[in-house]
Amino acid sequence: MTWFEAAMRWAARADRIGMHALRIGLITVLLWIGGLKAFPYEADGIVPFVANSPAMSFFYEHPAPEYTRHMNKEGELVAANRAWHEANGTYRFSWGLGAAIVGLGLLIAAHYWRPELGAVGSLLVVGMSVVTLSFLITTPESWVPKLGDAEHGFPYLSGRGRLVIKDAIMLGAALVTMAQSAREYMARRAPRRAPAGALGAAT
């Protein structure tokens, strides 16, 4: 056996490790990003996505594109902008969203004890990822603006757009963990069959 064949044999058996890594990765991202939604800089950063979304803009008091005059850069503190976001409901919405995202992470983590909860959590993350990917359509800031350079608009993703497109990976990962949790749940509920020898002895 060559070293390459040996490596391929190892790779073929790495799916169980990969499955755990995939689930732990999902849990880590959801808990971490969800927790950060409690902080103003993170809440400020999602305003363009929420304000331009037909499904979410009603959470804010002020319509798009008014927010463009009140955006703080990461690490920057402009008191007037912070006050505008307070009145806009930016932080109130972000706290609620963060709590929901943390809840999804905990549901997926519950797979090891209650796989049905893991399946539900993964299904909800699938829905969340679809909504997030819709921001590529609804949020102008997802694309490089036309400021003089030849590269602007589609397909030139901005920093925000590159952040959003990564949810395609979240979508696929959540589908895989959902399927695994559902299989585990059904396996635990399936009646255990008695060994053939034991059945014959009983008769």
Write down the pLDDT at residue 39. Answer: 96
Write down the pLDDT at residue 1. Answer: 81
User: pLDDT tens across 119-169, in order?
Assistant: 999 999 999 999 999 999 999 999 999 999 999 999 999 999 999 999 999
Averaged over 108-126, what is the pLDDT? 97
Write down the pLDDT at residue 198. Answer: 53
Average pLDDT of the residues of the chain: 92
The burial of 105, by beta-carbon neighbours within 10 Å (0-12 exposed, 13-18 middle, 19 or more buried), is given as buried
Residue 175 has pLDDT above 60, yes or no: yes
Write down the pLDDT at residue 103. Answer: 98
Averaged over 67-95, what is the pLDDT? 95
Write down the pLDDT at residue 142. Answer: 95
Q: Residue 85 and residue 76: Cα distance in Å, rounded?
A: 14
Residue 201 has pLDDT above 60, yes or no: no
Sign, Cα dihedral of 5, 7, 10, 14? negative
Confidence of residue 192 (pLDDT cuts 50, 70, 90): low
Q: Residue 148 and residue 122: Cα distance in Å, rounded?
A: 43
Q: Residue 42 and residue 36: Cα distance in Å, rounded?
A: 6
Are 144 and 157 in contact by the 8 Å Cβ rule? The answer is yes
User: pLDDT tens across 7-49, in order?
Assistant: 998 888 888 899 999 999 999 999 999 999 999 999 999 999 9
Cis before 65? omega within 30: yes
Write down the pLDDT at residue 203. Answer: 43
- pTM, 2 dp: 0.87
